[in-house]
Amino acid sequence: MKRLLPGLLLLSFATTAVSQSIFDSLYAARSAEVYFAFGKADLTPEAGAVLDSLVATLKAEPRYLRIRITAHTDSIGTQAANETLSKRRAAAVRDKLIQRGLGDAQIEVAGFGKRRPVATNSTEEGRQKNRRATLDILVAVPMATFAGQVKDRDTGKGIQAIVTFRSKTREDSIRTDSVGCYSVRLPKDSVVKVEAVAPDHFFQTITAKIFGSPELYKKYKISPDIVLPPAKVGETAVLRDLFFVGDEAILLRVSEPELPKILKFMQINPGLKVEIAGHINGPGLIMREEPLWRQSLSERRAKLIYDYLLKNGIPAERMTYKGYMNTQMLFPRPKNEKEAEQNRRVEIRIVDK
């Protein structure tokens, strides 16, 4: 059930939290390609040498599990004919591997016809590159269980939520059970961002290293539980990972992935009306201390979020925006850039529901 960013897979509600492997437990440790003549599924001597090398590698390394074969064609001919030809090519490679001593259970095959070209089909050189079979040697990734509960901040009770897990290259999601519990299998020793969203609650994100033993979470005082503040009238959420360039209404690049989270919050809470509040960092404004400039900057930061939500389908009547200048700094006398960044922030306040 792998998904490459930015794809997202939502699984149905379960009555109990059952451990699921939401990221692939296999990855390609080594890959190679063999090529075919037009309309043919016969392997060339050069292809045979490639297979000899891969088989030797597979037999020498016990950690390698099997070979995945995906075969392809150029664009000439009908879709049906190319699908059949790609499957013949995959089968031909599989048969040659079996002849070299591999078991059938070690090999998986798939044919994609002309659906996945790697080069242009407008030249013979490009078409030759597309008449190929790719062989991936697969190795198992050690997996570990990561389990926790999503809870309401005020009551401490578990709540149903969507929990998203993000690594550097992959993203996937599950729904908790009826009392907020989740249990998933993730690559051991990886670092994963875990985000929980639920109706009538602000979203929350934690970063977790996936240990191989539950005892290690206790040792390092790391809790996989996620506490969500209720989105009640008067409540304010600081968008803590939304930072701006100093003296500008420009988001830092690292903050751009936060925008879809805000959009998701507004989408799953269609009855909420919010105020988007912009703030600036007071110290450092040496030549531009004018109140009008401070007001404009803080307001433009709030409007940036307002415009993003409006562009993505959130009705204008559900939102207002306002700049608060530097009157509500989290750190009135920031000691470092990190504290100054947190003063340059945007907040969401619930005004009606």
Fold for domain 142-228?
Immunoglobulin-like (2.60.40)
pTM for this predicted structure = 0.64
- Using pLDDT thresholds of 50, 70 and 90, give the confidence band for residue 167: confident
Class of domain 26-140: alpha beta
Structural element, H or E, at residue 128: helix 124-130
Assess whether pLDDT exceeds 80 at residue 290: no
Fold for domain 236-352?
60s Ribosomal Protein L30; Chain: A; (3.30.1330)
Same fold: 26-140 with 142-228: no
239-278 pLDDT tens trace = 777 777 767 778 878 788 888 889 999 999 999 999 999 8
The predicted structure's pLDDT at residue 228: 95
The predicted structure's pLDDT at residue 280: 78
Taking residue 340's Cβ as centre, other Cβ atoms within 10 Å add up to 20
Tokens representing 275 are 């105020």
125-148 pLDDT tens trace = 999 999 999 999 888 788 888 999
The predicted structure's pLDDT at residue 312: 96
Region 218-233: mean pLDDT is: 88
The predicted structure's pLDDT at residue 20: 67
47-85 pLDDT tens trace = 999 999 988 888 888 777 788 999 999 999 999 999 999
- The per-residue pLDDT of the chain, averaged, comes to 85
pLDDT above 70: percentage of residues in the chain: 90
Distance CA 194, CA 224 (A): 9
3-state secondary structure 221-270: CCCCCEEECECCCCCEEECCCCCECCCCCCECHHHHHHHHHHHHHHHHCC
- Cα pseudo-dihedral 176, 179, 183, 184, rounded to 10: 10
- Using pLDDT thresholds of 50, 70 and 90, give the confidence band for residue 156: very high
Task: Give residue for tokens 């990972």.
Answer: 241
- The residue extents of the domains of the chain are 26-140, 142-228, 236-352
Letter for the amino acid at 318?
Answer: R
98-125 pLDDT tens trace = 999 888 888 999 999 999 999 999 999 9
Assess whether pLDDT exceeds 80 at residue 336: yes
Region 289-297: mean pLDDT is: 70
Nearest to 262 by CA among 190, 205, 220: 205
Assess whether pLDDT exceeds 70 at residue 289: no
Radius of gyration of the chain (CA): 27
The predicted structure's pLDDT at residue 14: 35
